[in-house]
């Protein structure tokens, strides 16, 4: 089967699509894979590491929601991207196109629809994104991560609940509990808010026995400068990195996680049964990160803190209280496992195969 993927903008859009392609490849069902995305986006850096995927650059940009005077130029740019997508589709001849939401998926899914090629769109979050809302009437399949997704029709017909696809290393993980690491991660781009909150909490964290801090800063801060400040606060050998390709391993070693609440981050926490403190990004479109976090909080699997609260909450004391309560941490880990959907990549792959075979 020849599959074209349209995804990018963040790791949360890219990695689920990779998980689906890897699943199809493991089955021997993937004849060829092509990927359309921004040449300057995170997708270009990640996908080009996979020689069996043909990455094709797409001139795409997001809609500046707060700057309506820029919308005409963006729409003009989208017209250019549509032409590029049609050219790639004519040359690659995919049997099915998978769009993962976000601005890089709009033009390719639209172009595929106009060419009569079956399409699937996938929503990683608990609230349907703007691009997926626009593509909803055109898509042959609408695949959801959460049973109750704001803005999406209820499951039935072409709407299916699959979960959010994860790479196999997350599914085969056997987390060590109780573990010694506190993992702080702010998504693929990083979070200055979480970095600064961790620095404020550092003196308290330094007093916790056997705690080792692992902080992924993304583009939010300089790793060396942050590490020096943490060491000056008394933390022993803190691990500070800009990015990690080994998130499954990091989660497996974590006793507790402090994180944003992107759809893929939440799915990874659920699959690995990691207790967490979630701080949703307040500027996420439609407030979708809060919706994602609530899906875990309702089970008791995480502590939910808003960005405004974070300035007044004593994060060090909160971590210390959880760190010492092994019973509660285990209970949180068991609760978060209840929302996991470990078969998501397989289910999405099956939907793509059905579309390619003409199954309605």
pLDDT per position as a tens digit, 250-305: 999 999 999 999 999 999 999 999 999 999 998 887 889 999 999 999 999 999 99
Q: Is 330 helix (H, G, I), strand (E, B) or coil?
A: helix
Burial bucket for residue 340 (CB in 10 Å: 0-12, 13-18, 19+): buried
Position 209 scores a pLDDT of 84
User: Band of the pLDDT at 72, cuts 50, 70, 90?
Assistant: very low
Tokens encoding 7: 């995804």
How does the average pLDDT of the chain come out, rounded?
91
Q: Going along the chain, which residue ranges are E strands?
A: 2-6, 32-37, 53-57, 96-99, 119-123, 141-144, 159-161, 181-185, 212-216, 239-241, 254-259, 276-278, 302-304
CA distance 20 to 27: 11
Do residues 230 and 199 touch, judged by C-beta distance below 8 A?
A: yes
Query: Of all residues in the chain, what percent carry a pLDDT higher than 90?
Result: 76
Q: Is the pLDDT of residue 114 over 60?
A: yes
CA distance 127 to 286: 7
Position 9 scores a pLDDT of 86
Q: Which residue has the higher pLDDT, 19 or 67?
A: 19
Q: Is the pLDDT of residue 316 over 60?
A: yes
Tokens encoding 142: 């609408």
Position 307 scores a pLDDT of 92
Q: Which residue has the higher pLDDT, 92 or 174?
A: 92
The tens digit of pLDDT for each residue in 168-221 reads 989 877 666 667 899 999 877 889 999 999 999 999 999 998 899 999 999 899
What are the structural domains of the chain?
2-166+342-356 (3.40.50.2000), 170-337 (3.40.50.2000)
Q: Is the pLDDT of residue 96 over 60?
A: yes
Tokens encoding 194: 């979480």
Question: What mean pLDDT is predicted for residues 92-102?
Answer: 96
């Amino acid at each position: 089967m020849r599959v074209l993927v349209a995804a990018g903008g963040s790791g949360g859009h890219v990695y689920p699509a990779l998980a689906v392609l890897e699943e199809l490849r493991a089955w021997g069902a993937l004849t060829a894979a092509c990927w359309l995305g921004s040449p300057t986006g995170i997708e270009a850096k990640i996908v080009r590491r996979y020689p069996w995927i043909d990455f094709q650059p797409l001139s795409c940009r997001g809609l500046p929601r707060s700057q309506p005077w820029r919308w005409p130029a963006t729409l003009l740019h989208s017209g250019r991207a549509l032409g590029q997508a049609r050219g790639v589709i004519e040359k690659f001849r995919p049997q099915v196109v998978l769009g993962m939401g976000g601005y890089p998926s709009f033009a390719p899914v639209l172009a595929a629809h106009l060419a009569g090629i079956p399409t699937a769109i996938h929503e990683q979050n608990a609230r349907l994104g703007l691009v997926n809302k626009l593509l909803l009437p055109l898509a042959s399949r609408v695949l959801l991560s959460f049973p109750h997704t704001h803005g999406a029709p209820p499951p039935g017909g072409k709407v299916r609940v699959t979960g959010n696809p994860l790479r196999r290393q997350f599914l085969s993980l056997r987390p060590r509990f109780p573990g010694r690491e506190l993992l702080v991660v702010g998504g693929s781009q990083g979070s200055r808010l979480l970095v600064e909150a961790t620095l404020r909490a550092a003196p308290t964290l330094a007093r916790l026995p056997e705690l080792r801090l692992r902080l992924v800063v993304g583009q939010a801060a300089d790793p060396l400068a942050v590490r020096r400040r943490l060491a000056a606060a008394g933390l022993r050998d803190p691990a500070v990195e800009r990015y990690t390709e080994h998130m499954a391993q990091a989660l497996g070693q974590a006793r507790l996680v402090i994180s944003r609440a992107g759809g893929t981050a939440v799915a990874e926490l659920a699959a690995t049964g990691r207790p967490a403190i979630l701080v949703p990004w307040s500027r996420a479109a439609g407030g979708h990160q809060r919706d994602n976090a609530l899906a875990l909080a309702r089970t008791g699997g995480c502590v939910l803190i808003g960005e405004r609260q974070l300035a007044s909450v004593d994060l060090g004391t909160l971590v210390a209280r959880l760190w010492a309560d092994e019973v509660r941490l285990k209970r949180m880990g068991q609760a978060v496992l209840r929302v996991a959907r470990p078969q998501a990549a397989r289910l999405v792959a099956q939907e793509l195969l059905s579309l390619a075979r003409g199954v309605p």
